[in-house]
Amino acid sequence: MFEELLEEIAQKNGLRGVSTSLKLATGLGALLLTLSATGYPGPLFIALALTGALLLLARIDPRTLVEVYAAPCSFAVMGVVVIVLVSGGSGGAWSWQPLPWLSLSITPEGINRGWMVLCRTLGGVASLLFVALTTPMTDLFVVMRSCRVPPALIELVMVVYRTIFILLDQLVRCYHAQVMRLGYSTRREAVRSFATLCGAVFIASWNAGEDQIRAREMRCYDGRLVPLGGTRPIEARPVLAVAGFLALGVVVTVLSGGMTLPGGAG
């Protein structure tokens, strides 16, 4: 189930000591470059560079990284297949009209469009993963407060964050107990067990939430949760590295604007 969240990996990654603002600037800057690119080399460069940084600098286990990339890639591939089929164009190798208002074909233009979307998704996912795998949520709370995000929202984010771990703990224990009692042996039994699991976890978490309120009130809780942790200093070398990476990203993106795969008009 949820034995390992990206959050747990982020807590012990090699870039844990680097300034949160700098890591966010890297991830968000790379994301903006990816979204503004009109040719495929820019997003591909971002994806490769940030994956390399995750493996070499953040020291993320390669197998874990492949697993983490698998889910977004499966969605991207399914979506890209649809985009290739509906894009149309000339010189197609195959075409089919299953419905009067729907024509499917595979053409160089369609392949180019799909390839561009795939590269953009890879660049976007790499940017997101760079933030997710190097920055624990607890560090983001501090940044959110300094960015003047509404206190009610920060408070809700922090409470949900804490409750997720209470709920996960209950869920994993109940689930294993059900599996040991053959609770998922048949389809019908599985639906019943899953519903019981959700109900039991909901009630247990409710009780844990009420305990939390009582504990807070005993500590003179006045409606404001204080996120722990200070801001990390911004050092010169990481700043130069990030500036260099983003500058190179801009150059690649601008120079490769409009570039398509050979043989396609894009």
Partner 1 sequence: MHIMEGFLPATWAIVWWLVALPCLLLGLYRLRRLLSVDREALALLGVTGAFVFILSSLKLPSVTGSCSHPTGTGLSAICVGPWVTSVIAAVVLLFQALFLAHGGLSTMGANLVSMGIAGPFVGYLVYRALRETPVSIFLTVFLASALADLVTYVVTSLELALAYPAEVGGFFGSFTLFLGVFALTQVPLAIVEGVVLALVFKYIVQLKPEILVRLGVFSEERIVATQRGLADAA
User: Is 147 or 240 the residue whose CB approaches partner 1 more closely?
Assistant: 147
Task: Give the whole-angstrom CA distance, residue 251 versus residue 245.
Answer: 10
User: Is 190 or 240 the residue whose CB approaches partner 1 more closely?
Assistant: 190
Residues within window 199-218 making contact with partner 1, judged by CB under 8 A: 199-203, 205-206, 209-210, 212-213
CB burial of 91-100 (b: ≥16 within 10 Å; e: otherwise) equals ebeeeeeeee
| Residue 227 CA: distances (Å) to CA of 120, 160, 173, 210 | 35, 14, 29, 21
Q: Which residue has the tokens 């807070």?
A: 216
By CB under 8 A, name the one of 42, 124, 183, 249 that touches partner 1: 124
Instruction: Give the nearest distance from C-beta 139 to partner 1 in angstroms.
Output: 11
Token readout for 212 is 């939390």
Decide: is 104 part of the binding site for partner 1 (CB under 8 A). yes
Within 8 A by CB and 6+ apart from 17, the residues are 232
By CB under 8 A, name the one of 17, 59, 74, 179 that touches partner 1: 74
Residues within window 11-30 making contact with partner 1, judged by CB under 8 A: 28
By CB under 8 A, name the one of 162, 184, 259, 264 that touches partner 1: 162
Which range binds partner 1 by CB under 8 A, 176-184, 192-200, 226-234, 250-258? 192-200
Check if the beta carbon of residue 171 is closer than 8 Å to that of residue 208: no
Within 8 A by CB and 6+ apart from 228, the residues are 138
User: Is 25 or 166 the residue whose CB approaches partner 1 more closely?
Assistant: 166
Task: Give the whole-angstrom CA distance, residue 51 versus residue 123.
Answer: 9
Count of alpha carbons within 13 angstroms of residue 104, beta-carbon side = 8
Q: Can you say whether residue 103 is alpha, beta or left, with left for phi > 0 and alpha for psi between -120 and 50 degrees?
A: beta
Instruction: Give the nearest distance from C-beta 237 to partner 1 in angstroms.
Output: 26
Q: Kindly write out the interface string for residues 222-261 of this chain, putting x where it contacts partner 1 by CB under 8 A and - elsewhere.
A: -x--------------------------------------
Instruction: Give the nearest distance from C-beta 89 to partner 1 in angstroms.
Output: 7
Decide: is 82 part of the binding site for partner 1 (CB under 8 A). yes
| Total residues in contact with partner 1, by rule CB under 8 A | 81
Token readout for 114 is 């799909």
Decide: is 120 part of the binding site for partner 1 (CB under 8 A). yes
- Running DSSP on this structure, what letter comes out for residue 166? H
Which range binds partner 1 by CB under 8 A, 54-62, 132-140, 178-186, 241-249? 132-140
Decide: is 157 part of the binding site for partner 1 (CB under 8 A). yes
